[in-house]
Amino acid sequence: MLAAQSDEMRTKGDALIRQADRLLCEIWNERMWADGEPIDPSPKVDQALNGGFSWLEIECSRCQTKREVNLAELPHVETTCIHDLATRLRCQRCAKGGKRPRATLLQLAIGRRHTAEVP
């Protein structure tokens, strides 16, 4: 009986945390849409994933190429904040030319909108 109650409370708690994480992502998105800054503070990668936002849309600050990053596929970055990714995610096209421009963060997304990765 008490165990069932505990399970029920935990399930409700998980659902609340998921809602809180989704809200964090929505707040951050609205800031990106409005001004594009400040990017800090931002949700952590695991909060974005928990909130259902699995994709991060970025744009190269140099060549303006857009791409989407699957947050779930990033290695060992569950506690990394989204804004820290701006300096870590590199444009493949510019990297070939020896440039390392930072990424402009556009928004978190639930699904993928653009289809192809830049070859």
Binding site for Zn ion (CB under 5 A): 60, 62-63, 65, 91, 93-94
Report, in Å, the least distance between residue 11 CB and Zn ion: 44
**Is the Cβ–Cβ distance between 67 and 58 less than 8 Å?**
yes
What are the CA-CA distances from residue 34 to residues 71, 75, 80, 101, 116 (Å)? 23, 30, 24, 23, 27
Report, in Å, the least distance between residue 1 CB and Zn ion: 60
- Number of H helices and number of E strands within the chain? 3, 3
77 or 94: whose CB is closer to Zn ion?
A: 94
27 or 63: whose CB is closer to Zn ion?
A: 63
Report, in Å, the least distance between residue 47 CB and Zn ion: 28
SS3 37: coil
60 or 85: whose CB is closer to Zn ion?
A: 60
